[in-house]
Amino acid sequence: MTSSTSTPKWTGLVPVDDTALSVTDSGGDGTPVIYLNGQFATQGYWRRVVAELGRDWRHVTYDERARGRRSGRSADYSFEAAVRDVGAVLDARGVERALVVGWSYGAFVAAHWASRHPDRTIGAVPVDGAQPHDWLTAEMEQGIRTTFRRLQWLTIPLRLTGLTPRMTAQWPTGSARHTPSSSTAPTPKNLTTAAPWTSPRLPPSYGQDFWPGAQPPATT
């Protein structure tokens, strides 16, 4: 879908819940594309992609909560918040329908957004993500958590560059994780740019095995 009028380029902060997200909109009259970052990435990772695709597309990038140098911290870093933020950014930029491109963690977010909002989705492009729900074993997850704990000292100076999130998160005491069975968590299919858009039906917990939606303590 190409807009009938050209939108000017815009960079700024979009208020969302208790925070604000740093957003860049290339403007133009091309087909809108919104890019969803990896868990610890920033919108800067898409610069080469945006440059190569050029002006035939309207590129919208943003830094998630506590990512990058400008997006604010929040009391909610859950997966559901990440999905909601996609709509908040599109609404703020006046985009009715967009092609959703997600990389890594962003691919899971893209799959959920496309499944829940087929009327606003031109298509979805999951890159290196949106794997089957059961690909990560308990041993692998524990290894990932151990690695991040060991590298915690390195994340502190990297926060100044925007390469690591400026947040802390703790799994709530007494909470129970929900791991869907194989019969309720299908692998997403037909996530293409073909029109009309046909969305898969994804369970609410799909993709959260890797980064559960823990509620971290409020930051000051």
Question: Does the structure show a pLDDT above 90 at 17?
Answer: yes
Among 83-87, 124-128, 169-173, the range scoring the smallest mean pLDDT is: 169-173
Residue, of 59 and 164, whose pLDDT is higher: 59
Do residues 167 and 156 make contact, with C-beta atoms less than 8 angstroms apart? no
Domain count, the chain: 1
Percent of the chain with pLDDT over 70: 69
Distance CA 82, CA 136 (A): 21
Give me the pLDDT at residue 218, please.
Answer: 40
In sequence order, what are the residues at sequence separation of 6 or more whose Cβ sits closer than 8 angstroms to the Cβ of residue 30?
A: 2, 3, 55, 56, 57, 58
Question: Does the structure show a pLDDT above 60 at 50?
Answer: yes
Do residues 49 and 33 make contact, with C-beta atoms less than 8 angstroms apart? no
Q: Domain residues for 102?
A: 1-220
Report, as an integer, the average pLDDT of 56-70: 94
The whole-model pTM stands at 0.70
For residue 200, the domain's CATH number is 3.40.50.1820
- Tell me the pLDDT tens digit for each residue of 7-16: 999 999 999 9
DSSP category for residue 43:
G
